[in-house]
């Protein structure tokens, strides 16, 4: 059955991009090639310098500028791109998300084929046959989400499945935590449609040897026929060497799969299936444009047991013992991972159950397809590991919530390690070498000796059950000494792996990192066989050259094309904001390791603009890459402060701060953008619109004073058109109404209803601009709820606006003035025991977080520690325990605020609403698309609405009776839906539930 294309909102953004005319001049060296491609292709052709920069890196340690990028729409585009590139003698490289860790997805002077943006259809699902036919750009989690209705899934489960494409997984031969149970991608790849080096298309599948079908294929004078004849001959001529050299492992993704291409099928026939050879070939043999993959039943339930050990080697020795049980995963973590997790605000909660004395832990999973009774299964492993073995403790997890905490701790290992301060980092280059599980203990001891000899250390974690440990030595690759140590460590570790009959890569592939060592693993005879395979498929050696195999006259060297080499340097700009916690401005930029988590298609917050555009520039990674190239001198001097850089790189970052929390290494792009915008304003005069939005308070006060006349003026004929033309505010967007009585005026006339002497607590309710002049109902509701809890409420004197609009727009001098004024005004109250509360989440986060970077004043930490959003305060103090509620019988659909999600404070509103008596459905939603002033800006209106539609789809799918959202901008976006009213703030629903 066919399915819909999983690209919500894309057409809206394409309209926006066309309107902005964002095509730019091709790099002269490749202008002729680009022109020929544009004549023949329907897809996008990008050969400008920015596009080269965006695709120069992947998730690895490497960097190599391509010639340009082709984003094909369909098969015909791929064929023509291959033919035209080779006519120009330019190599070609197909990639999906570009999250590869071995450097497979980068290549100097290549034409990059980005298969992820358009070629991402789920073509057909056959539930009975348990197969799916898909295009290569389908994200694995999207596929699995669609398969869920049939109780099926695609078995390989890389940790990057929320953004990794299945096509990329085929190129890499991916796997994941459950390879103990399911092995790797080549086991599930049945058929492939592939564009060969001459532009011809073949359909690889099982072909019975010496059958009529075989004879028909090999009798032709075609590249396909030559490939089949040669591959069969190579496999048959090297049968003994293949048997000798290929390791007996569940995971081996080094080299070409000569050991799997000819086999006996289910009917007992000897068949050849080139699909098995193409899997893991890293687009060096052809470009996959369609795949038929087999599926497996999805287990109904799982359970986890985490065993704690006093010694790492004891843990390793327990791995083969764990495999004697019916397990679906066996994962390992060491004490360095636990230590870093405990020190991390984000991950500390997941490390809490782990005893301090644990040197390592083994996490074992059982699923309902393998065992009938989880408690019995875990009792048996407890008897083995705790009662009679070396484990001193066990943590059992049966519910999904309990298991997710342990899995999050395991998956936190890489981001925790990569966020280490300074230039030395735990880099991936030999991190997924694999040995038989029964040899892990001896292997790790020898690996430790190599690390000691090279004066470094590493953490140990990952897929112990398959013999794969992610061991990342800590090195400084910005120094020649570090680079040479990397090469020396790799040489010694590969010797060690060969000694243990293992594989140089059990998960992440060869790429630029390990290709040069494949002759060591496979020997000269099979190395020659690899070269013959390559030569047959790709006579010109133009398909992703230098990966898996290389020409003798042009050997691959892992020390070449490094992202940070000995020649790398970056400027350290003088900054207005404080970057000490991040090390420096440049260190924050360089925290981006290219993993591509910002390209996830659903869940969490970041990166909202990418989710609509599917364009690399709109990802956090894309923006970080552009900033790194600017500060390292790879882009022309001063490029960061050009109008183009501002508009294309920074202006579409909406400042949601999702990356602050969702990025595994914490690349806070919103903070970086704010700093660069500030410096840009020092050089270029800001626009009228920027000045208005940065200092919106006086205009709002004026609008409120003259309401309702101020609300009528924009409705006059031609007024909105003129506003868009001369100021740049979209004529399509509803403007917030002004209230004739401000919130401050209302409160002044009303006064506090709970006296200070009788109150249980005392708070200052900060009058943010929206609440004060546009929507005071939320402020009034906050007062009512607080006073119902016997809290004395006042509005602060002598405060300025929080500075949020000025900060977001990069007017840091103005934001600093306001921050300083507010800190001076609030500190006396805070010293006297007052708390400061906010209705608007972004204003709360301003004081809780941004002020710390904005002003150098010891008192700012006290202000930050005592500032709360109103629902956060109620929840933290459990004030609702003292309130009598009589909530209506409603289910509320809750859309949280991005800034609060970034600060891990979004759950408070949900907790209060539930204790008030409501059922609540909290949406896993990204930014609404308004982002303060962003949704009002004429050139961003279409993009804002496209992001909004993604939110509306989630709202429509919820079973809630009413939507609530704490952000004023979010409520404006939701209120702009046809036939919908502006939804209330959650505090309004809490106030509605008060017993009268």
pLDDT digits (tens, 9 = 90+) for 147-172: 999 999 999 998 888 899 999 999 99
- Asked if the model's pLDDT at residue 144 lies above 70, the reply is yes
Name residues whose C-beta falls within 8 Å of residue 449's C-beta, 6 or more positions apart in sequence: none
- Asked if the model's pLDDT at residue 844 lies above 60, the reply is yes
Rounded to whole angstroms, the Cα distance separating 350 from 848 reads 24
Q: How confident is the model at residue 703 (pLDDT cuts 50, 70, 90)?
A: very high
Rounded to whole angstroms, the Cα distance separating 341 from 347 reads 5
Q: What are residue 510's phi and psi, to 5 degrees?
A: -85, -65
Assigned token pair, 159: 């940790």
- Asked if the model's pLDDT at residue 995 lies above 90, the reply is no
Predicted confidence (pLDDT) per residue in 315-327, tens digit: 999 999 999 999 9
Rounded to whole angstroms, the Cα distance separating 688 from 694 reads 10
- The region of weakest confidence among 384-393, 487-496, 511-520, 835-844 is 384-393
Q: Residue 155's pLDDT is what?
A: 95
Rounded to whole angstroms, the Cα distance separating 734 from 971 reads 12
Predicted confidence (pLDDT) per residue in 171-208, tens digit: 999 998 899 999 999 999 999 999 999 999 999 999 99
Q: What are residue 439's phi and psi, to 5 degrees?
A: -105, 5
DSSP letter for each residue of 776-830:
-HHHHHHHHHHHHTTEEEEPPSSPPP--HHHHHTT-HHHHHHHHHHHHHHHHHHH
As a whole-number percent, the residues of the chain with pLDDT over 90 amount to 83
- Asked if the model's pLDDT at residue 4 lies above 80, the reply is no
Q: Output the CA–CA distances (angstroms, integers) from residue 902 to 345, 718, 929, 955, in the order listed.
A: 12, 41, 16, 21
Q: Residue 160's pLDDT is what?
A: 87
Tell me whether the omega of the peptide bond preceding residue 493 falls within 30 degrees of 0, making it cis. no
231-242: average pLDDT? 97
pTM comes to: 0.92
608-612: average pLDDT? 91
Q: Residue 11's pLDDT is what?
A: 44
Asked if 254 and 503 count as a contact pair (C-beta separation under 8 A), the reply is: yes
130-156: average pLDDT? 96
Q: Residue 19's pLDDT is what?
A: 43
Q: Residue 799's pLDDT is what?
A: 95
User: What value does the mean pLDDT of the chain take?
Assistant: 93
Predicted confidence (pLDDT) per residue in 634-648, tens digit: 999 999 999 999 999
Q: Give the angle subtended at the CA of 392 by the CAs of 388 and 398, to the nearest 5°.
A: 95
- Asked if the model's pLDDT at residue 372 lies above 60, the reply is yes
Asked if 234 and 529 count as a contact pair (C-beta separation under 8 A), the reply is: yes
Which of the two residues, 666 and 359, has the higher pLDDT score? 359
Q: From its phi and psi, is residue 663 left (phi > 0), alpha (psi between -120 and 50) or beta?
A: beta
Predicted confidence (pLDDT) per residue in 785-823, tens digit: 999 999 999 999 999 999 999 999 999 999 999 999 999
Q: Residue 5's pLDDT is what?
A: 38
Predicted confidence (pLDDT) per residue in 874-890, tens digit: 999 888 888 899 999 99
Which of the two residues, 458 and 919, has the higher pLDDT score? 919
- Asked if the model's pLDDT at residue 488 lies above 70, the reply is yes
Rounded to whole angstroms, the Cα distance separating 587 from 460 reads 25
Name residues whose C-beta falls within 8 Å of residue 827's C-beta, 6 or more positions apart in sequence: 859, 862, 863
Name residues whose C-beta falls within 8 Å of residue 982's C-beta, 6 or more positions apart in sequence: 971, 972, 974, 975
Strand partners, 921: 893
Q: How confident is the model at residue 415 (pLDDT cuts 50, 70, 90)?
A: confident
DSSP letter for each residue of 91-115:
-EEEESS---SSSTT--TT-EEEE-
Q: Residue 9's pLDDT is what?
A: 34
**822 burial type by CB count under 10 A (0-12 exposed, 13-18 middle, 19+ buried):** buried
Nearest alpha-carbon partner for 996 in 906, 898, 883: 883
Asked if 867 and 847 count as a contact pair (C-beta separation under 8 A), the reply is: yes
Helix (H) or strand (E) holding 944: helix 941-957
262-270: average pLDDT? 94
Q: Residue 22's pLDDT is what?
A: 52
Q: Residue 882's pLDDT is what?
A: 80
- Asked if the model's pLDDT at residue 307 lies above 60, the reply is yes
Asked if 92 and 113 count as a contact pair (C-beta separation under 8 A), the reply is: yes
Residue linked to tokens 């972004």: 842
Asked if 830 and 862 count as a contact pair (C-beta separation under 8 A), the reply is: yes
Residue linked to tokens 């490497």: 62
DSSP letter for each residue of 639-704:
GGGSHHHIIIIITT-----HHHHHSTT---HHHHHHHHHHHHHHHSPPPHHHHHHHTHHHHHHHHH
Q: Residue 14's pLDDT is what?
A: 52
Q: Residue 23's pLDDT is what?
A: 61
Q: SS3 for 181-200, per residue?
A: HHCCHHHCEEEEEEECCCCC
Q: What are residue 102's phi and psi, to 5 degrees?
A: -100, 0
- Asked if the model's pLDDT at residue 20 lies above 50, the reply is no
Q: Residue 241's pLDDT is what?
A: 97
Asked if 322 and 278 count as a contact pair (C-beta separation under 8 A), the reply is: no
In 279-389 the beta strands, taken as DSSP E runs, fall at 287-294, 296-297, 302-309, 329-334, 360-367
Mark out the alpha helices in 434-515 (DSSP H runs).
Answer: 440-453, 480-499, 511-514
Predicted confidence (pLDDT) per residue in 540-594, tens digit: 999 999 999 999 999 999 999 999 988 898 888 889 999 998 889 999 999 999 9
């Amino acid at each position: 059955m066919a399915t819909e294309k999983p690209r919500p909102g894309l057409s809206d953004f394409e309209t926006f991009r066309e309107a902005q005319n964002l095509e730019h001049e091709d790099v002269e060296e490749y202008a002729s090639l680009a022109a020929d491609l544009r004549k023949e292709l329907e897809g996008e052709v990008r050969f400008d310098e920015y596009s080269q920069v965006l695709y120069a890196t992947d998730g690895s340690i490497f960097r190599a500028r391509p010639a340009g990028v082709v984003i094909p729409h369909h098969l015909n585009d791929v064929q023509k791109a291959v033919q035209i590139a080779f006519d120009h003698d330019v190599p070609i490289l197909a990639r999906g998300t570009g999250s590869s860790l071995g450097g497979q997805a980068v290549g100097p002077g290549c034409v990059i084929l980005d298969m992820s943006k358009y070629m991402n259809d789920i073509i057909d699902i056959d539930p009975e046959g348990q197969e799916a036919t898909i295009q290569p750009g389908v994200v694995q989690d999207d596929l699995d989400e669609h398969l869920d209705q049939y109780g099926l899934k695609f078995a390989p489960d890389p940790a990057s499945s929320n953004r990794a494409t299945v096509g990329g997984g085929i190129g890499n031969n991916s796997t994941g935590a459950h390879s103990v149970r399911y092995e790797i991608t080549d086991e599930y790849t049945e058929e492939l449609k592939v564009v060969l080096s001459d532009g011809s298309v073949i359909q690889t599948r099982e072909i019975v040897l010496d059958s009529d079908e075989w004879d028909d294929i090999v009798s032709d004078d075609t590249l396909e026929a030559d490939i089949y004849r040669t591959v069969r001959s190579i496999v048959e001529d090297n049968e003994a060497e293949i048997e000798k050299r290929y390791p007996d492992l569940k995971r081996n993704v080094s080299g070409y799969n000569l050991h799997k291409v000819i086999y006996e099928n289910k009917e007992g026939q000897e068949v050849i299936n080139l699909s098995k050879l193409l899997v893991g070939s890293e687009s060096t043999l052809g470009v996959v444009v369609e795949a038929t993959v087999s599926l497996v039943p999805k287990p109904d339930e799982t359970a986890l047991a985490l065993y704690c050990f006093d010694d790492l080697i004891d843990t390793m020795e327990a791995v083969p013992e764990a495999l004697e049980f019916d397990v679906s995963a066996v994962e390992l973590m060491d004490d360095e991972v636990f230590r870093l997790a405990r020190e991390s605000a984000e991950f500390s909660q997941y490390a809490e159950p782990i005893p301090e004395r644990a040197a390592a832990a083994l996490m074992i999973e059982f699923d309902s397809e393998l065992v009938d009774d989880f408690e019995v299964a875990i009792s048996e492993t407890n008897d083995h590991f705790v009662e009679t073995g070396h484990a001193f403790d066990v943590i059992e997890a049966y519910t999904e919530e309990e298991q997710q905490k342990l899995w999050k701790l395991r998956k936190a290992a890489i981001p925790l390690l990569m966020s280490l301060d300074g230039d030395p980092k735990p880099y991936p280059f030999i991190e997924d070498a694999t040995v038989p599980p029964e040899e892990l203990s001896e292997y790790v001891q020898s690996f430790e000796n190599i690390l000691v000899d090279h004066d470094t250390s590493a953490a140990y974690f990952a897929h112990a059950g398959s013999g794969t440990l992610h061991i990342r030595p800590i090195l400084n690759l910005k120094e020649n000494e570090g680079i040479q140590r990397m090469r020396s460590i790799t040489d010694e570790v590969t010797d060690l792996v060969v000694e243990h009959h293992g594989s140089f890569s059990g998960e992440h592939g060869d790429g630029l990192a390990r290709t040069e060592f494949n002759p060591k693993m496979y020997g000269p005879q099979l190395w020659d066989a690899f070269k013959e395979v390559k030569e047959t498929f790709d006579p010109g050696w133009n398909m992703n050259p230098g990966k898996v195999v290389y020409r003798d006259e042009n050997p691959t060297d892992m020390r070449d094309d490094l992202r940070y080499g000995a020649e790398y340097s970056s400027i350290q700009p003088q900054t207005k904001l404080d970057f000490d916690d991040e090390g420096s401005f440049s260190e924050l930029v360089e925290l981006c390791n290219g993993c591509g988590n910002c390209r996830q298609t659903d869940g969490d917050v970041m990166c909202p603009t990418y989710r609509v555009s599917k364009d690399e520039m709109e990802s956090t990674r894309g923006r970080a890459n552009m900033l790194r190239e600017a500060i390292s001198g790879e882009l022309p001097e001063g490029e960061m402060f050009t109008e183009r850089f501002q508009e294309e790189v920074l202006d579409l970052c909406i400042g949601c701060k999702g990356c602050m929390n969702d990025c595994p290494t914490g690349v806070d792009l919103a903070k970086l953008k704010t700093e660069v915008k500030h410096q840009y304003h020092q050089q270029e005069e800001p626009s009228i619109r920027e000045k208005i939005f940065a200092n919106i308070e006086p205009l709002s006060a004026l609008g409120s004073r003259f309401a309702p006349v101020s609300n009528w003026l924009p409705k006059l004929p031609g007024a909105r058109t003129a506003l868009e033309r001369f100021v740049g505010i979209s004529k399509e967007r509803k403007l917030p109404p002004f209230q004739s009585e401000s919130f401050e005026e209302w409160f002044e006339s009303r006064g506090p209803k709970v006296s200070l002497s009788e109150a249980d607590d005392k708070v200052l309710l900060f009058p943010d601009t929206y609440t004060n002049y546009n929507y005071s109902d939320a402020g009034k509701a906050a007062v009512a709820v607080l006073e119902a809890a016997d809290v004395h409420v006042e509005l602060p004197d002598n405060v300025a606006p929080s500075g949020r609009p000025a900060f977001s727009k990069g007017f840091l001098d103005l934001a600093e003035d306001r921050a300083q004024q507010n800190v001076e005004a609030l500190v006396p109250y805070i010293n006297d025991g007052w708390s400061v509360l906010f209705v608007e989440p972004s204003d709360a986060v301003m004081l809780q977080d941004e002020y710390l970077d904005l002003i150098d004043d010891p008192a700012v930490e006290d202000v930050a520690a005592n500032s709360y959003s109103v629902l956060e305060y109620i929840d933290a103090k459990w004030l609702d325990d003292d309130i009598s509620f009589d909530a209506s019988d409603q289910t509320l659909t809750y859309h949280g605020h991005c800034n609060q999600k970034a600060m891990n404070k979004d759950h408070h509103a949900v907790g209060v609403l539930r204790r008030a008596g409501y059922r609540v459905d909290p949406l896993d939603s990204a930014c609404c698309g308004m982002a303060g002033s962003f949704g009002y800006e004429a050139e961003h209106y279409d993009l804002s609405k496209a992001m909004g539609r993604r939110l509306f789809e989630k709202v429509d799918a919820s079973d809630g009776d009413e939507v609530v959202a704490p952000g004023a901008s979010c409520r404006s976006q939701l209120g702009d839906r046809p036939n919908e009213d502006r939804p209330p703030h959650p505090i309004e629903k809490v106030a509605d539930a008060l017993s009268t």
